[in-house]
Amino acid sequence: AAKRNGRNRFEHFTKEMGEMAQRRRIVENDLREAITTGQLRLYYQPITNNQHCEIVGYEALMRWHHPEKGVIMPLDFIPIAEETGLIHNLGAYALYEACREAASWPGEQMVAVNLSPLQFKSSALIAVVEGALKESGLAPHRLEVEITESVLLDNTMKNIDVLRDLKALGVHIALDDFGTGYSSLSYLRSFPFDKIKIDKSFINDMQDSREALAIIRAITGMSRSLDIQITAEGVESIEQFQRLKDEGCTLFQGYYFGRPQPSENRLKTF
């Protein structure tokens, strides 16, 4: 009986695996079509400075306008894009589109684009970034790429080379979600980052957790001495904003200042 039970469980398991794989395939096919039919859109969330809360630029965040399912958020399709290799098409689209739109914004406002670790490891990355800049005519210093710590974990020399090549193009580099991964403060000395974005989980916990506040202090203190700009992400209230400003954050992003919006509706002043 035990054996039969085991086999039933196994069959049940394989059936579920099959259904999951099929759901994935449906999403994969839909996503392939989404790229070619323009269902992927970039929304822009303002980033403000600590002087007069002027908007210095925007982070481009992808949304999938699915014809039946409505708006799908990145966490529900980026992982599938990464598993299927579609992230390279999707990522190139984000770079070209963000540069094209930012080129029409006034003044020196910058645009920040998220890079998947797979894009970062691709030998095509530099050519894609260069192509996006060239086609849009956007000044390179107005483009910022955001990478997460996870890309820095392995083959260090190669990573440094990619970062140097990006810098050589004139683009800025931000370290995203700082504090969540295997944060090592030594990264910050060996890599040429322009900016560190403190993960929103620390901002969220700051008022109740001494540990979260201590980490924010450690990051701002260190970046002051290394002369790196600090962005606080996920700022939702004026209290958080004032506290973070006092702690030495220089840039701010969060619902308090504005939500991600299509380029034509984006917040122009705060």
Nearer residue to ligand C2E within complex by CB, 121 or 200: 200
Contact letters (x/-) for ligand C2E, 195-224, by CB under 6 A? -----x------------------------
Q: Is 114 in the site for Mg ion (CB under 5 A)?
A: yes
Binding Mg ion (rule: CB under 5 A), the pick from 101, 144, 146, 149 is: 146
Judged by beta carbon distances under 5 to 8 A according to partner kind, the member of ligand C2E, Mg ion, none in contact with residue 234 is: ligand C2E
Interface region with Mg ion, contact rule CB under 5 A, candidates 31-39, 170-178, 222-230, 238-246 = 170-178
The residue (of 101 and 233) whose beta carbon lies closer to Mg ion is 233
Question: How many angstroms separate the Cα of 77 from the Cα of each of 27, 34, 63, 221, 249?
Answer: 8, 11, 9, 36, 32
216, 247 contact by CB (below 8 A) = yes
Nearer to ligand C2E by Cβ, of 92 and 228: the residue is 92
Residues 158-197 that bind ligand C2E (CB under 6 A): 176-177
Say how far apart CA 43 and CA 137 lie, in whole Å.
Answer: 21
Told to check if 149 binds Mg ion by CB under 5 A, we report no
- By DSSP bridging, strand 70-72 and strand 55-66 are antiparallel
Choice from 48, 116, 231, 263 touching ligand C2E (CB under 6 A): 116
Q: Binding partner of residue 62 among Mg ion, ligand C2E, none, CB under 5 to 8 Å per kind?
A: ligand C2E
Binding site for Mg ion (CB under 5 A): 114, 146, 176-177, 233
